[in-house]
Amino acid sequence: MANALENLQARLQEILAGRPRQLGWGQPQLMSQSLERARDALGGRRAMGRNQRIARGLMAFRIQGAGTDFVHLKYACQGLALPMDWESRRLLADREQVERLLQRVLDFADDSRRFAACYRGLLASCLHAREAGFPPAGPLAANLQRLEQFLIRAQERLPADIRPLLPFA
């Protein structure tokens, strides 16, 4: 841990090299530009891996439910069938949570861009779950069937030019 902090300190010193006057300290706009360059050099938000964003989205959805914001919801949709928490549980295994998630996605039905993003995430989760071959009698299979039905019905809400072909329709 200490080594990681020392590495971070060295990178920040390298990025912010120079005296404070040269960096524009005391002038908010120039300070913001310097800090933006530092964030970009360290990877910014892009540094967070896809799985980490999905895990955060799933956790936010488990905690907030219907109050989940769009960004977290989009990633929760992508991770619906993935074993992501500390116990490798899948959100798809919990019927109540699946229903909540699908209802929350419908809350964005009037915003075609956001709805389409959530729909793509759900479709990716559905295809992943189908490949996983869950036991046909378990809750995962029943919830997967519910998800497939949702995707078939919700497809009509998408603009015609972006409607995907559904392999299960």
The string of pLDDT tens digits covering residues 26-74 is 667 766 776 677 666 666 655 568 888 999 999 999 999 999 999 999 9
33: nearest Cα among 44, 20, 23: 23
pLDDT of residue 1: 58
Q: Give the pTM.
A: 0.71
In angstroms, what is the C-alpha Rg of the chain? Answer: 21
Contact 31, 23 (CB under 8 A): yes
Q: Is the pLDDT at 24 greater than 70, yes or no?
A: no
pLDDT in tens, 79-122: 999 988 778 889 999 999 999 999 999 999 999 999 999 999 99
Q: Is the pLDDT at 8 greater than 90, yes or no?
A: no
41 backbone dihedrals φ, ψ, rounded to 5°: -65, -30
Residue reference for tokens 């030019």: 161
pLDDT of residue 2: 66
